[in-house]
Amino acid sequence: MAQVSMTVNGKAASGDVEGRTLLSSFLRDSLDLTGTHVGCDTSQCGACVVHVNGEAVKACTMLAVEAQGAEVATIEGMANPDGSLNVIQQAFQDHHGLQCGFCTPGMVMSAAALLKENPKPTEAEVREYLEGNICRCTGYHNIVKAIMAASGQDVSSIAAE
């Protein structure tokens, strides 16, 4: 067992983990932050995306001990300080960018990383950035619209594929 300490959503967090404990498992099982979903355990689906030191990572392929001392942000930390939805979450709601909701936390976290890197991405750039996230319900059209809307762009011209 190893002791791991990090800051998660602005709060100190620590716990004892086995060396093989994944960050996703630590967040879900030790910290009860179940918004980080695990869909594949192979880094294929993106449902487990979190931010570690400001970078989007798939928490199912990172060991908890690798996050020692890191700043970790999960979907639970994305809301505004007053508890209202942030601009990305609100855009997903407004533009119907979710259906079953399983992929949504990872999509929102990926969208936040994209918009941090590229505040006004093109539709093609959004689609390319989301290649590591799988949604089995929506066909991505409304997810792309939501991300474009969150960037402040007009989405009325985005045509369904």
CATH number at residue 131: 1.10.150.120
Look at residue 113 and tell me if it is in a domain.
yes
Does 68 share its domain with 42? yes
Look at residue 159 and tell me if it is in a domain.
no
Does 36 share its domain with 72? yes
Last residue of a domain, which of 33, 59, 77?
77
Q: What's the domain range around 127?
A: 87-150
Last residue of a domain, which of 77, 96, 122?
77
Does 98 share its domain with 32? no
d(CA 3, CA 43): 25
Last residue of a domain, which of 42, 77, 112?
77
d(CA 132, CA 155): 23
Does 114 share its domain with 134? yes
- What letters, b where the CB count within 10 A reaches 16 and e where it falls short, cover 82-107? eeeeebbbebbeebebbeeebbbbbb
d(CA 101, CA 47): 10
Question: What is the tally of structural domains in the chain?
Answer: 2
pLDDT tens sequence for the chain (161 residues): 999 999 999 999 999 999 999 999 999 999 999 999 999 878 899 999 999 999 999 999 999 999 999 999 999 999 999 999 999 999 999 999 999 999 999 999 999 999 999 999 999 999 999 999 999 888 899 999 999 999 999 998 886 65
Is-contact 151 115, C-beta < 8 A? yes
The confidence score (pLDDT) of residue 76 equals 98
Question: CA 120 from chain center: how many Å?
Answer: 19
Residues forming beta bridges with residue 12, ordered by sequence position: 7
Q: Is residue 38 classed exposed, middle or buried when 0-12, 13-18 and 19+ CB atoms within 10 A define those classes?
A: middle
